[in-house]
Every structure is written in C-alpha cells, then in structure tokens.
A and B are shown apart, each in its own frame.
Chain A
Amino acid sequence: MLLSRCTSKNLISPKIGIKFFSAKPKRDFKDARTQPKHSQAKSSSSFMMNVFRGKLETKEVFPYPDVLHADQKELITSFVGPFEKFFLESNNPTKNDENSKIDDEVLDQLWQLGAFGIQVPEKYGGLGLSNTQYGRLCEIIGQNDLSVGITLGAHQSIGFKGILLFGNEKQKEKYLPGLASEKVYAAFALTEPSSGSDAASIRTRAVKSDDGKYYIINGSKIWISNGGIADIMTVFAQTEQIDPETGEKKDKVTAFIVERSFEGVTNGPPEKKMGIKASNTTSVYFENVKVPIENVLGEEGEGFKVAMSILNNGRFGMGATLAGTMRVCIEKAVEHATNRVQFGKKIKEYGGIQEKISQMNILQYATESMAYTISQNMDQGSKEYHLEAAISKVFASESAWYVCDEAIQILGGMGFMKEAELERVLRDLRIFRIFEGTNDILRLFVVLTGIQYAGSHLKVLQNALKNPAANFGIVSSEISKRVSKSIGLGAIDFKPFVAPELLPYSQKTAACIESFGKTIEDLLVKYGKNIVNEQYILNRLSNAAIDIYAMVVTLSRSSRAYELNLPTAQHELNLTKALCIQASNRVMDNIQSTKAKSQMELLNIMGEIAGEVYTKGGVNTTHVITNC
C-alpha cells in the first residue's frame, strides 16, 4: 500500500499522466502566466476546490442539501419496495456468480422493471429520475448484486450517458427509447491494450471519408463492460483535426455512437474474472466500421472531454451503490456478533469487535453522506463537482473493501465460507478501486486540479504585484484574504452551520482546512509547477483532501439530523465525532509528512529501494540460508 503511493522523483518521466487531467479545468500554470494581467482568477463554488486555497465555501455543503420535492420523495419511496422485493425474490447473486452470467429471465424482469432507463426522460420511455433518486436505487443494487450493478451501470451510467449529456435531439430520439426500455444494451468503449489510465493516448482511429459523410473506425478496445451484449456503444477514437487558428493538423479524440449493426463490429469471448463475474466484459474490435457523420457525439475533436464528463457524471452512483453494499456487510457482521459466543460471552461484548463495528459504520456513514451531497449538488445544477465525485469514488471503494473485509473477519471461519455470501462481495468489490479511473490516478487528479486552482490565484497575485498601483483592487483583495489566513487558527468558523455539540470537532476540521491551504501555498512556492512530479507529496495531500471532505459532509448531515430532531440524531452525531477525531489526526499527519525532513529522507530511501528492485526484477535481498 505504502509503496504504491511513493515513487522517487528520478523514476518519473516529467510528463506523467497529466493529459488525463487536462479534461476539466483548462487553466494550468502556463495558462495562468499568459493570462492578461488584470484578470481575476476564476472562482469556483466547489467546496473542495476552495479547500485548496484554505477557504471555506459553504454553498454546496451547508446546510446538507435537500433537493427533492415532496412528490419526488414520494415517487422514489414508492419505488424502493418493489425494487428491493425484485432483488430478494427473483435475483440470485450466487447463481449469477457461479454461472458467470445473469439469468436471462432476471434480465428480462429488470427491463420490465424499468431498471435500464432510470434517468432517461419519460418522453423517451425512461423513468426520468434525478441523480438523487437514481442514487437511492443504486443503493439497493449495491445491497444485492454488484454484477447486476455493473451491467446496469455500464449501460446507463457510462454506456449511453454520453447521449443524454451531449446527444442532439435527433440522436436522443433515435437511440434513447430502445436503450431505456426495449432491451437494447449499451457500452462505453474507451480502454485499449496500450491505453488505460492515460486515456488520451488511445490508438483507435477514425478517418473521415472524402465526401465528409462518414468516418471509418479501426482499432480495438479491451475490458469493455457489456461488450458482448451491447448493440449501441459510445466509442472513442483519434481523429485528425485542424486547428482553426494555426491551421496545424493535430490528432484529437472524437466520440461516436456506434451501432453493432454497422458492419465490422465484433467482440471477443467473455473475460474470466476475479469478481463481478456475471457482468459481461469483452474486447471489442472495429474493422473498417463505417459510422455516419450524424453519429459523432458532441463536437468533433472534443471526445476526450465527452469521455471525462461521462465518467465524472456517473461517479456519485458508485458511492451510493457501495454505501448499500456496506450496509449489508454491516448487517451480516452484527447478526453474527450478536449470536456467536466465544470465551463465554457473545463476541459483540468484546471491545475489539465493538471497535470494528463502529469503524465500519463510520465509513458507511461518510460514504453515503458524500454520495448524496454530490448527487444533490448535481441536481441543483452544480457544474463543478469533479473533485468531490472523484473523492467519493476513492473513498467509497476503499471503505467498502475495508468494511467487507472486516465483516469477514468478524464472522471468523464462517466469513470465508461461500454460504456467508461475503467472499463474493469482496471479490466483486475489488474492481471498484481500478476501473472508472484507478484510485491512484483519481488521487492525483484531485490534488493536481485543486493545486492548479490555488495556483491560478497565486499567479494572478504575483502578476498583479508587478504593478500594484494599476492592480490595486486585485492586490488588496488577495492580500486581505491571505492576511486573514496568516492570522491563523479561527479564521474558519463552522459555528453557524453545525450542531452545538459538534463545534469542537468542527474546529478540528477548520484547523485542517487552514493548515491545508497554507501548505498548498507553501508547496507551490517551493516546487512551482514541478509539484506534479512529487507523487509522494501529492498522494498525502490528496489523502488529506479526502479526509477533509469526509469530515465536512458528515458534520453537515448529522447537523441536519440534529436540526430535524431525527430519532437517529445522537447516533449520527457520534459517527461524526469519531470520524472527525480520526480524520483530523490523519490530515495533520499527512500535511506534516509533506514537509518534515525525516519524511523527505524516507521518500529518498524508498525511491532507491524501488530502483534497486527494478534492476533486479524482484526481491533484491540475499537469502539467509544459502547466502545467494
């Protein structure tokens, strides 16, 4: 775990996967420098973006969002019962896992149920649900069968999401009704053998015909969920684009809607996998596939943005799904702990078990709180939720892994048995840390995007300072912000937002945010744009950012519970307090280790170790018995 997070400077090519990040905020350090001097840096309403400046932007987190109208709440509530009932009575996750296939009958029922078109507007035959309502159904899916979850998610969360987000009216009319309710499956085809995390490096190519009426696509994709069953795919390919300003020819990614019925689309056999076995994963090949120009999705050359927006838009669903999965793991663990007697007592009585159970609940609470903060921000029209969404994906997938693992531990030998139905869940969960952006890449994405944002403000200030008289407004406003920061602790005050008894805990969070912002500024001054090469530091900053978000969403949600006097308010306050104690300590540790001399020494040693191991091709020690 530790090793994967630290890589020495000299091992990294200066390019790293930065292309990956260029999708969202276009502004990077270079842009900031070439900006007109008078411009104010763009400000964001995203809570996390502002944390990178040590600023509290409460709009999206306090009070805890509550976007659904009464009738929307009633609708989703009326869906919950039948949806749960379907999973409990008709779907058999163990059987799906054993057959590496979801029963056809179950799939038919899922189509009838409306589960494949949850967010498609009603006029195209879908249920037209909001993100938050979708999240509620995701939870139920996560409680029951993650293979079904990926089949549904690959279809609507990424497979045809592009048509919903970027499709024109004609494309929507043509494709959505089939995709929403007529058993037409969709897939999202981005990954290639030589291009995973570095998605911009894809080699699949689309060449425009001379008459400009269609593109010819050639290339191959791997590990495409629903690849063997999809009739409609969102496919990404390089296309030659001419820069309108310079006239230069350049390869840029374009997104296409490709029908299997276009000749030349084939797929490989279903991959044999560790988990989510019943979800169909295959290679997909494109051989001289003729795609009409009307099937370009979004603008030509803007495909990378399309891909990133789709992934970004679907991530909260993973959080909601895994919150459901954790709920089930917790129920199983509690059930066992309250019945199992060892050493003359129910094992639930032992402190060790109690600690595990509460830790599992703390993580579940934070995961769920993140998912519904983001889904509701999205429903409110927020456009800048990419940091929060990435954080929720990382936090949810790692928490779920931990929670399921601990549930197995609490069940002891029973947990290892198939019939406890936890081993399947653990296998199914593993992929969530890898796909839709590996957690490692998302950590870098979070921290580098945040730093760019903070950096752009810093640059504006530096530029302005070259001519302070002319830029008096900028300078004074930026300086005053910084001055307030230099006053230090206490500049951020959560008092208006949190339940009275959470105040001391919120103060810990406030101190973390202030210290974090200050650290970002110091590191920017110290490393400049070379900070991108310091993954050891970046990962620690990212972990701090993730913890800060976890604290704030739980502070907010439990304060809401307190405010509404919910029967579980005290319990939620406790979950929050515990999380704040743990997370604030970690944040301070992480911040400290970005600066401490000893840590820098550690970093250098680790770099050397990795280098030696690379040279050897494996463990590089001498055996104690043979001395060779």
Chain B
Amino acid sequence: MSRVLVGVKRVIDYAVKVRVKPDKTGVVTEGVKHSMNPFDEIAVEEAIKLKEKKIATEVIAVSVGPTQSQEVIRTALAMGADRGVHVEVSGKDYDLLQPIHVSKILAKLALDEKADLVILGKQAIDDDSNQTAQMTAAVLDWPQGTFCNKVEKTDAGLTITREIDGGLEVIKTKIPAVLSADLRLNTPRYATLPNIMKAKKKPLKKITPKDLGVDTAPRIEVVSVEEPPVRQAGAVVPDVDTLVGKLKEGGHI
C-alpha cells in the first residue's frame, strides 16, 4: 500500500455553544472557535499509524471548504500527514455543500493521487450526515469499511472490526477501500508546537472543484434554521393517580 487520503473538515468546535443567526439562515460562525472534526482527527491518527507501521508511505490530508479550512489541513500536517490538498469552496456554495459533492471530489482526488485507501470520519459534528464515506466508496466502486473500531493489514487486504448496534462485526476487504473512523478506533495525538512549525513548510496544494470536474452548484435551499425547542419546565405531582390523570389529559396514554 502506498498512499492514504484522509478527509479533514473544519467545523465549529465541539465545546462551543452553537447559536442560530437572527435571520434563521444558518448558525453563527463568525468569531466562533473552529477546529478539526473530532472523527477526522481519528481518521488522521489511523493514517499516520499506518505510516508509522510502514504499511503506508504517504498520507495526504484533504479539506473541502473556505480558505480557513487550511487551518485544519495544517493541523493534520502537524499531526504527521505529509502534504495537504485544499479544495476551495466558499460562500453560498459552501453553505449548501452536500455529502454527494464532497464524495465526488474525494473520489476524483483518490484516483488522481493514486490513493490505496481513503479514511474519513464517520460523520461531521456540524451536519451529522454520516454519508460521505459511503458515497465516496460508491462513486469509486471500492469496498467500504464503515464505523471502524480496529483496522488490521493482512496479506489479502484489511481485516476490519466495525461498531454495530449492540456489538462488533469483523469483515475482510480488499484494497483499495474506503473506511470511516468511529470513536474508539484510536486516541488521536496532539499536534505539538514544534510539529506545527514544521507543518508550515509541508506542501499544501490549492485547487477548486472545477479543476476536478465536479459541479458543486447547490441543489437544495435552506428554508429555515431553528433553535431546538426549549425544554418545558417539569412539575412535581403528589401521587401516581394524579400522574396517570395528567398523562391521560395530555393524550399520552
């Protein structure tokens, strides 16, 4: 195996309390702390581990998004990726960018870069789609190993332990393949400050979807973004009878 492509998305930091814009067209992103999608960090870590085990020779980090997306590519480079590709999509196009677009971009890049493995996070914590890895595999017509809990290289390809409802499932795939990282796959390392400095010198290529022949024109329209409803205050009832009565009243039983 020679090359691993990892997807890294810039998202609002998990610790930030997300607020809806007053005009309800989306959420407030300006002046808000962003970082790499946590599942993508796990994907990057897995790719670097493969390189450290000499299974992979090169790790390429890809981010699709506005200029600031380069920050998360730099983080991936600081963690140990070798080079970065920034596919620039901004403005309205980016606001309405869907997994289908991203997977077409990633698939094309995987072919152009002659990647043997594409590793993505299982989902991004902003739109929670959980579709990109699956769609990328479909576009490429490669096997997929989603929700990876463990990835082992064998002579024939990969042995993957997947997280499924209520347990684990072990599958075998050939290479090339597309994987998506689940939470317990590994513990991502820190980007140390010296490595962040070194990362500044690693190559980062900037391209557009057009260069890849992918059309990212929006096909959907956001009608309204709403805050989740505020939880109603609860009430303490004196006894079970009253409780049953209230539940009946509310049409719950």
Contacts and interface: CB of A to CB of B under 8 A. Distances in A.
A79 B191 CA distance: 9
Interface stretch (A112-120, A302-310, A343-351, A409-417): A112-120
Interface size class of A (residues with CB under 8 A): 10 to 19
B194 A75 contact: no
A80 to B, nearest CB: 9
A338 B31 CA distance: 23
A610 interface: no
Interface in B178-215: 190-194, 196-197, 200
B192 A78 contact: no
Interface in A22-63: none
Contacts of B31: 567
A497 B109 CA distance: 54
Contacts of B33: 81
Nearest to A122: B197
Contact of A127 (B71, B75, B78, B194): B194
B35 A83 contact: no
Interface string B59-91: 000000000000100110010000000000000
A473 interface: no
B140 to A, nearest CB: 33
B35 A78 contact: no
A85 B187 CA distance: 14
B193 A127 contact: yes
A85 B35 CA distance: 11
B193 A83 contact: yes
B71 A78 contact: yes
Contacts, number: 41
A125 to B, nearest CB: 8
Nearest to A125: B194
Given A78-B71, A81-B35, A567-B31, A114 B194 contact: yes
B35 A113 contact: no
B194 A82 contact: no
A109 interface: yes
Q: Is the interface of A mostly helix, strand, loop or mixed?
A: helix
Nearest to A111: B192
A122 B200 CA distance: 14
A82 B200 CA distance: 15
A83 B74 CA distance: 15
Contacts of A321: none
B190 A75 contact: no
A86 interface: yes
B88 to A, nearest CB: 18
Interface string B113-150: 00000000000000000000000000000000000000
Interface in A114-171: 114-115, 118, 122, 127
A181 interface: yes
B190 A79 contact: no
Given A81-B35, A567-B31, A75 B191 contact: no
B190 A114 contact: no
B193 A181 contact: no
Given A82-B192, A112-B192, A113-B190, A75 B35 contact: no
B194 A181 contact: yes
A82 B196 contact: yes
Given A75-B200, A78-B71, A78-B74, A115 B35 contact: no
A109 B193 contact: no
B67 to A, nearest CB: 12
A328 to B, nearest CB: 14
Interface string A165-184: 00000000000000001000
29 contacts: A75-B196, A78-B74, A78-B75, A78-B78, A78-B196, A79-B193, A81-B33, A81-B35, A81-B75, A82-B75, A82-B78, A82-B191, A82-B192, A82-B196, A85-B190, A90-B190, A109-B190, A112-B190, A112-B192, A113-B190, A113-B192, A113-B193, A114-B192, A114-B193, A122-B197, A127-B193, A127-B194, A181-B194, A567-B31
Given A114-B192, A114-B194, 9 more contacts: A78-B71, A78-B78, A81-B33, A81-B75, A82-B192, A90-B190, A113-B190, A113-B192, A127-B194
